[in-house]
Amino acid sequence: MDRILHDASYSQEILQLTADTLILVDAEGVCRDVSIHSDLCFMQEKYLLGKNVFDILPEHTRNKVYPEFKRVLNEKVSVTKNFKLPFTHKTYYFKCIMQPYRDMVLCQYRDITERCNIRLELEKANEKFKEIQRLGRIAIWRYSLLNDAISYDYSPKSEEKDGKAQFKTADYVSHIYKEDKELFLTWLNNSINNDTFEPVSYRIHHDNDLLYIRMLAYTRTRKGSDEIELEGYIQDMTEIRRKEKSLDTLTHAIDNVAEEIFAIKEDGTLIFVNKKFRELHRVPQNVPLSELKIQTLPYGAMPEERWRNMYAIMEVNSYKSFTVPNPIKENKELLALEIVTYTVVDENNEKNIWIFGRDISDQIKFETEIKRTNQILDVTMKNLPASIVVKDVLNNFSYIYRNRDINYNIISDYKMFVGKTDFDVHPYDEAVEKRLLDIEVYQQKKVIHDILENLDDKGHVVILDRKKVLIEHKDFSPIILNIEWDITELELTKRELTAAKEKAERSDRFKSSFLANMSHEIRTPLNAIVGFSRIIADCDNFDERREYYSIVEANNERLLGLINEILDLSKIESGIVDFSIGPVNLFDLCKEIHNAHIFRCPQGVELIFEKYEPNLVISSDKNRLFQVYSNLIGNAFKFVSTGSVKFGYSLENKLVKFYVTDSGTGIAEDKINKIFDRFVKGENSIQGTGLGLSICKTIIERLGGNISVESTLGIGTTFTFTLPCGKFTRKKTHKLSEEGIVTMSSSKSILDNDWERANVRKENVDKEENEADTILIAEDMDSNFELLNAILSSTYNLIRARDGIEAVSLFNDKKPDLILMDIKMPNMDGLDATRIIRELSPNIPIIALSAYAYKQDTEEALAAGCNDFLAKPLSVAKLKQILNKWLKN
């Protein structure tokens, strides 16, 4: 037999077949010989022979190989190890068997790169599988029918020692959830008897927890009639099921939220929508999302340009919040959506936009209602005559609301005061006072209600009703509400009413005194009038009758004066009487007053006009000044028995000062402050109504002046009144008589009485040769006609008409020479009758007769067409004077 392996001629061929490269390396590491049996590029003689192999090896490999090389040299042992040979382009693995040979080392190089790479891949795959097992909670299980046992291998956690477990089938089934046991046993029996591999899911109790398990058999092996083995995997699905359940819950929640939620791609394609979105945009449930774009929705589609603009904004900001008014034009009830967007990058590196839209229509309506309510409340509080301040106690008593500023002016915007305190808007002392009051209200939980009275910046009185209360609630910090009602007008009115009441009460008391005085004053002249009228009727002596007649006339004048004073005061104070303002020469006025009163001085009393400026002219009402002077002088005559009454005027600081001084009894101190009140008299025993001084005060004040009095008991009294001098401006508000003034009944001179008395004569004088004139008397009262008839019938032919209609008719029939026209008559009054007669005859003299004796009444009569005016009661002398004036005969 040929021993081929021992035949040297076959050695190279055999070495070639072994696939190992032999390298003989000396002690210095130099390659002395090499037998290449590899096709690797770096395993060539030109790279190895005669070269130091350790210089050629990479550093990592050299550090591993060289120690083993030295060991073989020194210890003369053989070493077999695997080494890594890393290059830039590739890493190789080789097995190196080093054996001592003489003083060298024979290295047997075997390339194991492919085998190592496969092993590494297997190791990686195994590690991955184990990690998958661990993460996926997957294990390999086996079932042995012979042992009736279940075992499984699993990837242990780091704290677990091994990954194996084995249970008897009965023990294992005892841990399965009772409702799933039958399911599991049926599945196991089918898997043993059939090759159909279907998974089974069941629940199992483990460590007081319920686990969800999924088991699958993927091999079935029969080793005998009684020996069948199953193998497969088992997976703990608990976390997955819980996450699925959570996901189901989340999906259900997302579908049932009030907001619309959807995800959208850049081109507008929808990738997720919830139930609310489908409802708002009327998208059917069965329509796939891939077919929908935001620009082509069946209802409420978004225009392409609008979507592009929105996407551009959302692409820049990963999170964006904004409000879209009227998002769906077709849905008028949807007022606005509050939008929140998120940009999410998916697994394909595409940007998807998630949009959350919340319907805020109810919020907008609610806010609108709140704004309207707040506006109503704000306007209401601004227009209330009250200052309303609300302060936050815990925020340093700062203002929350204020409707008026410190000057009580309305604040256009209350927010300008919000956050400020009293120290920011008030002087320090005032702010401290307010703060202390607020602290008292807060700490003592008391209500402060008081009345404040101050002056505003214009010096006007401001009266406030202040109420300060504490309001506490669990939902907000305590606040102080301060309300100050402006009760200035109410309080002043109240004070005026109180004063008026007191005045009325005083007037009531004075009225009793006045009525007593009036009863005395009226009865006194009436007594004389009635008594002497009877005496005159019975007296035959002409001189005595004339004397008695003069007494009756004097008492008539006195009674008429009483009535005029009462009526004059009433007319002046009610504003019925107008004042006739014109130039008044004060010197001429005072001379007239002196001449009118000189004959009325009591015996032993002298009337002196003492102080004056001859050329002083003022703008005022001459008749009213005459009346005031007459009242003051007449009043002085009552209190002076001996001595004098002096009067005059002077110019002082653009005011004219008038005075009347007497040397009479004076006025008691307790009456001097009330002397100008109605019905008050300095001495109750003195005749008079107690209205004269009140009339004087009213007239002077209406003329823009003031009146005062100084008096000393037993020495005398001085009345002083002042009027502004001013420039005269003529006002044509009153028609003047021929003398240029309107003469008042109270200013009638005593000279008139003398003239009347001097011209009284018997009425039975024979008529002159000329035929008597005819007078038409229009008078409805028989007594008044009888009086006129008694006075005039002996001299004139008289015709009577009982009303205005009869007067017009008789005028047409009788053509009288003069008409005495009563003003107040039935059917047609005297003024209307005068207007008709004046149209028929412009020349007939018409004399008005009326008990209405004021200037206004005179002007109305003259305006209606009357030529003259006589006031009742009639003065016989005045009547005859007017008849002589207007009749030719």
List the Cα angle 707/639/635 in 5-degree steps.
45
Q: Confidence class of residue 736 from pLDDT cuts 50, 70 and 90?
A: very low
User: What pLDDT, in 10s, does the model give residues 879-889?
Assistant: 889 999 999 76
Contact 795, 864 (CB under 8 A): no
End-to-end alpha carbon distance in the chain: 212
Q: Confidence class of residue 566 from pLDDT cuts 50, 70 and 90?
A: low
Q: Which two tokens stand for residue 561?
A: 């004066």
Average pLDDT along the chain:
80
Which stretch of 134-143, 271-280, 311-320, 732-741 has the lowest confidence by average pLDDT?
A: 732-741
Percent residues over pLDDT 70 in the chain? 83
Which stretch of 8-22, 273-287, 725-739 has the lowest confidence by average pLDDT?
A: 725-739
777 pLDDT higher than 90? yes
Q: Confidence class of residue 818 from pLDDT cuts 50, 70 and 90?
A: very high
In what side-by-side order are the strands of the sheet with 200-206?
Answer: 164-168, 149-154, 138-144, 228-236, 209-222, 200-206
Instruction: Give the Cα separation of 823 and 804 in Å (integer).
Output: 9
Q: Does domain 130-242 have CATH number 3.40.50.10540?
A: no
Architecture of domain 770-886: 3-Layer(aba) Sandwich (3.40)
User: What pLDDT, in 10s, does the model give residues 695-711?
Assistant: 888 888 888 899 999 99
Domain boundaries, the chain: 4-111, 130-242, 257-364, 384-486, 526-734, 770-886
Looking at residue 243, what is its pLDDT? 81
Contact 766, 790 (CB under 8 A): no
CATH of region 257-364: 3.30.450.20
- Taking each helix axis as running N to C, give the angle between helix 488-538 and helix 542-573, from 0 to 180 degrees, rounded to the nearest 10: 170
- Tell me if domain 257-364 and domain 770-886 are identical in fold: no
802 pLDDT higher than 70? yes
- Average pLDDT, integer, range 563-582: 65
Percent residues over pLDDT 90 in the chain? 19
572 pLDDT higher than 50? yes
- Average pLDDT, integer, range 844-853: 86
* Helix ranges (DSSP H) in 101-168: 113-136
Residue 368: CB atoms within 10 A of its CB come to: 11
**Which of 234-248, 717-731, 742-756, 841-855 tops mean pLDDT?**
841-855
The residue type found at 734 is H
The residue type found at 3 is R
Looking at residue 528, what is its pLDDT? 62
Which stretch of 333-337, 547-551, 822-826 has the lowest confidence by average pLDDT?
A: 547-551
Who has greater pLDDT, 152 or 148? 148
Q: Kindly report the backbone phi and psi dihedral angles of residue 841, in degrees, each rounded to the nearest multiple of 5, phi listed first.
A: -145, 110
Instruction: Give the Cα separation of 801 and 93 in Å (integer).
Output: 163
Which stretch of 200-209, 231-240, 456-465, 508-517 has the lowest confidence by average pLDDT?
A: 508-517
Q: Which two tokens stand for residue 480?
A: 């102080």
The per-residue b/e assignment along 831-847, b for 16 or more CB within 10 angstroms, e otherwise, is: bebbeebbeeeeebbbb
List the Cα angle 411/415/418 in 5-degree steps.
110
Instruction: Give the Cα separation of 150 and 185 in Å (integer).
Output: 13
Using only C-alpha atoms, the chain has a radius of gyration, in whole angstroms, of 68
Which stretch of 116-120, 416-420, 506-510 has the lowest confidence by average pLDDT?
A: 506-510
Instruction: Give the Cα separation of 103 and 24 in Å (integer).
Output: 10
Contact 816, 844 (CB under 8 A): yes
Nearest to 881 by CA among 791, 746, 790: 791
User: What pLDDT, in 10s, does the model give residues 541-558?
Assistant: 888 777 777 777 777 776
Nearest to 187 by CA among 179, 197, 178: 197
* Contacts with 242 (C-beta within 8 Å, 6 or more apart), sequence order: none
763 pLDDT higher than 50? no
CATH of region 384-486: 3.30.450.20
C-alpha dist (Å) from residue 738 to 735, 814, 868: 10, 32, 12
Q: Token pair 């551009």 is at which residue?
A: 312
> What 3-state class would DSSP assign to 345?
strand
For residue 709, what is the enclosing H or E element?
strand 706-712
Q: Confidence class of residue 737 from pLDDT cuts 50, 70 and 90?
A: very low
The per-residue b/e assignment along 762-789, b for 16 or more CB within 10 angstroms, e otherwise, is: eeeeeeeeeebbebbbbbbeeebbebbb
450 pLDDT higher than 70? yes
- Average pLDDT, integer, range 109-127: 80
* Topology of the domain comprising 526-734: Heat Shock Protein 90 (3.30.565)
For residue 424, what is the enclosing H or E element?
helix 422-425
* Helix ranges (DSSP H) in 745-840: 750-758, 782-792, 804-814, 830-840
pTM equals 0.36
Q: Token pair 């770096």 is at which residue?
A: 42
List the Cα angle 384/386/392 in 5-degree steps.
115
Q: Token pair 């009225």 is at which residue?
A: 511
DSSP state of 598: G
> What 3-state class would DSSP assign to 22?
strand
3 state SS for 474-516:
CCEEEEEEEEEEECHHHHHHHHHHHHHHHHHHHHHHHHHHHHH
Looking at residue 470, what is its pLDDT? 92
Q: Confidence class of residue 732 from pLDDT cuts 50, 70 and 90?
A: very low
The per-residue b/e assignment along 534-547, b for 16 or more CB within 10 angstroms, e otherwise, is: eebeebeeeeebee
Task: Please list the residues that pair with 92 across neighbouring strands.
Answer: 85
The residue type found at 790 is A
Give 4-111's CATH code, choosing from 3.30.450.20, 1.10.357.10, 3.40.50.300, 3.40.50.1370.
3.30.450.20
Looking at residue 767, what is its pLDDT? 41
Q: Confidence class of residue 460 from pLDDT cuts 50, 70 and 90?
A: confident
Looking at residue 775, what is its pLDDT? 95
Looking at residue 567, what is its pLDDT? 64
